[in-house]
Amino acid sequence: MLVDDQEFLGSRFYQEWIKPQSICDGVGFSVLKTKRRVALSADYRLESEGRYGHDDVHLLSRFAPHICRSVAISDALNLRTIRSKALEITLEALIFGVYLVDRKGRILFMNSAGDRQVRTSDALRIGNSRLAPIDPAAHARFSEAITKATVDDEADTQSYEIATLVLPGEDSVGLLATILPLTRGERRDLSSTPGAAAVVFVQDPITETSLSGEGFAQLYGLTPSELRVVLAMLPGLSANEAANKMGISETTVKTHLHRIHAKTGTSKQTELMRLFMRSVLPLQNAPKLPLALAKAEHVPRPH
């Protein structure tokens, strides 16, 4: 199609690669073409086998769509599995509970933080495989929110508002639950868990929060020494106490702290700690946020 036979037979491609292998003909087609992948299928015949005829090409054209469809499905399933595993790893790293539920509110997946919540919290439990707030009024509101979130209504994609509910505890402030639908728009591809219709995020506003400081340091241009000062002062230590903990002088800590305030636009230790808390991901196995500061950030329990 691109060159005539004479030009092709005189090309280096034919002389140095095709001819030495005794190839006389070939057919091929594009199997897969995405933004990140291109796959081709090709078949060749030797001189002893003769060239492809019209019937051969016609038969291949009948098979090609089925081959392409099979490869496309396999590729989609493979990517979906990769995304699912990556998502699960990410969810397991979070300190707040994450629950995937179906249209009836039954739990299909929960991360380790969620498992701890339902085992230790006095505000939430599991009943009949469903998340069940202990407070009766909260239970009713929660069930209604799950029902609304799992309605597959494409016409209502833009109007749905993410529901955030307070789940009061019997002897504690309780928990905060945020419900996000997975049945609308592009969010339907967020999880590959079969039947997942909504995701519920549940957090304890007064539990000690674990935070990672690497991103915070990059965001505000902090040096490793400055970040160590921030992390040392997280439990609410004074400059002198942080210095003793780090094995350096109080003057050095104050010098670092002065530069940290200048870079972050803060003037007080409490402002710096709040900024740190709001700027980093709530990951497990990281430095602990002081309980007093976490309490200052919580949403009061309604009376």
Task: Give me the CATH number covering residue 140.
Answer: 3.30.450
Q: What is the pLDDT of residue 124?
A: 92
| Residue 150 identity | T
Distance CA 84, CA 4 (A): 50
Among 203, 234, 266, the domain-final residue is 203
With a cut of 90, say whether residue 255 has pLDDT above it. Answer: yes
Q: Based on the fold, state whether residues 196 and 99 are members of the same structural domain.
A: yes
Q: Based on the fold, state whether residues 101 and 187 are members of the same structural domain.
A: yes
CATH number reported for the structural domain that contains residue 276 in this entry: 1.10.10.10
Q: Residue 62: which domain range?
A: 5-85
Among 60, 85, 110, the domain-final residue is 85
With a cut of 90, say whether residue 137 has pLDDT above it. Answer: yes
Domain count, the chain: 3
What does DSSP say about strands 97-101 and 107-110: parallel, antiparallel, or unpaired? antiparallel
pLDDT digits (tens, 9 = 90+) for 5-39: 888 888 998 899 888 999 888 888 888 777 667 88
Residues 111-137 have a mean pLDDT of 89
Q: What is the pLDDT of residue 295?
A: 39
Q: Environment class of residue 260 by beta-carbon count within 10 Å: exposed (0-12), middle (13-18) or buried (19+)?
A: buried
Q: Based on the fold, state whether residues 159 and 232 are members of the same structural domain.
A: no
Among 35, 59, 85, the domain-final residue is 85
Q: Based on the fold, state whether residues 25 and 119 are members of the same structural domain.
A: no
Q: Based on the fold, state whether residues 242 and 289 are members of the same structural domain.
A: yes
Q: How many residues does the chain have?
A: 303
pLDDT digits (tens, 9 = 90+) for 145-193: 988 887 755 444 445 567 788 898 888 778 888 888 876 544 444 444 5
Residues 99-117 have a mean pLDDT of 87
With a cut of 80, say whether residue 219 has pLDDT above it. Answer: yes
Say how many C-beta atoms besides its own lie within 10 A of residue 75's C-beta. 16
Q: Based on the fold, state whether residues 72 and 145 are members of the same structural domain.
A: no
Q: Based on the fold, state whether residues 187 and 113 are members of the same structural domain.
A: yes
Domain annotation covers residue 76: yes
Q: What is the pLDDT of residue 76?
A: 52
Domain annotation covers residue 209: no
Domain annotation covers residue 44: yes
Q: What is the pLDDT of residue 273?
A: 80
Contact 203, 97 (CB under 8 A): yes
Domain annotation covers residue 208: no
pLDDT digits (tens, 9 = 90+) for 30-58: 887 776 678 888 888 888 888 888 888 88
Domain annotation covers residue 144: yes
Distance CA 76, CA 182 (A): 19
Q: What is the pLDDT of residue 191?
A: 46
Domain annotation covers residue 12: yes
Domain annotation covers residue 33: yes
With a cut of 60, say whether residue 277 has pLDDT above it. Answer: yes
Q: Based on the fold, state whether residues 98 and 36 are members of the same structural domain.
A: no
